A and B are shown apart, each in its own frame.
Chain A
Amino acid sequence: MDDSHAPVILVFVVAYLAMCVGVGVWALRRTTSARDFFMAGRDLGILVTGLAVFSSTMSGFGFVGGPGLVYRMGLSSAWMTVISPLGFCCVFYLLGTRLRMVAELRDTISLPDAVAARYRSERTRLLTAVAILLGVVGYLGTQILAMATVLRDVLNNVSFIPEVSLVTCMAIACAVLVFYCVTGGILASVYTDLVQGAVMIVAAVCVFFAALSVVDGGLTGIVTTIMEDDPEAITPWGTLGMMGSLSWFVVFVLGASGQPHVITKLMMTRRVEDARRILPVSAGGYMLCSLLWLSIGLAMRALVIQGGHPELAIPDDAAPQFLQFHAGPMLAGVVFAGLFAAIMSTADSFLNLGAAALVHDIPKALYGRSLSNELFWARVATVLLAVGSAVFVLYSRQDLVALLGAFGWGTFAAALVPTVAIGFNWKRATASAANVAIVTSLAVNFGIELFGLAIPYGITGGFVALLLSMTLFFGISLASPPPVLDPDIEEVMDL
Chain B
Amino acid sequence: MMERPSRLPLILFGLLLALCVVLALAFVIEEVPFEDVPSSAGGGVERVYTGHGTTHSRFPSMNHGGAGPERHRPILWLAWSFGLLQLALIVGCLALGVKHLERVWAPLAVCGVVLGLIFTMMVVTYQGYLDDVGSPLFFALPVPTAWFLYGFWPAQFLVVTLYVLVFGRSIVTREDMERFRGIVAANRGGQAGDP
Contact = CB atoms under 8 A, between A and B. Distances in A.
B98 A314 contact: no
Interface residues on B, range: 35 or more
Given A72-B61, A89-B160, A474 B68 contact: no
The binding surface of chain A is classed by DSSP as helix
B9 A474 contact: yes
B164 interface: yes
Contacts of A314: 61
A394 interface: no
Contacts of B16: 467, 470-471, 474
A104 B177 CA distance: 12
Interface residues on A, range: 35 or more
Interface string B56-70: 100111111110100
Contacts of A235: 65, 68, 126, 129, 142, 144-145
Nearest to B182: A491
Given A78-B149, A234-B142, 14 more contacts: A114-B195, A223-B140, A232-B65, A241-B51, A275-B167, A276-B167, A283-B160, A305-B59, A313-B61, A455-B26, A467-B16, A471-B17, A492-B180, A495-B99
Shortest 7 CB-CB contacts between residues of A and residues of B: A232-B65, A458-B52, A242-B79, A85-B156, A93-B97, A239-B65, A239-B53
Interface of B: 1, 4, 9-10, 12-13, 16-17, 19-20, 23, 26-27, 31, 49, 51-53, 56, 59-66, 68, 71-72, 75-76, 78-79, 82-83, 86-87, 89-90, 93-94, 96-99, 122, 126, 129, 133, 137, 140-142, 144-145, 147-149, 152-153, 156-157, 159-160, 163-164, 167-168, 171-172, 176-177, 179-180, 183-184, 186-187, 192-195
Interface of A: 71-75, 78, 82-83, 85-86, 88-90, 92-98, 101, 104-109, 113-114, 116-117, 218-220, 223-224, 227, 230-244, 246-247, 249-250, 253-254, 272-273, 275-277, 279-280, 283, 287, 301, 304-305, 311-315, 421-422, 425-426, 428, 455-459, 463-464, 467, 470-471, 474-475, 477-478, 486, 488-489, 491-492, 494-495
9 contacts: A85-B156, A105-B187, A108-B195, A236-B147, A237-B126, A241-B65, A314-B61, A426-B96, A455-B26
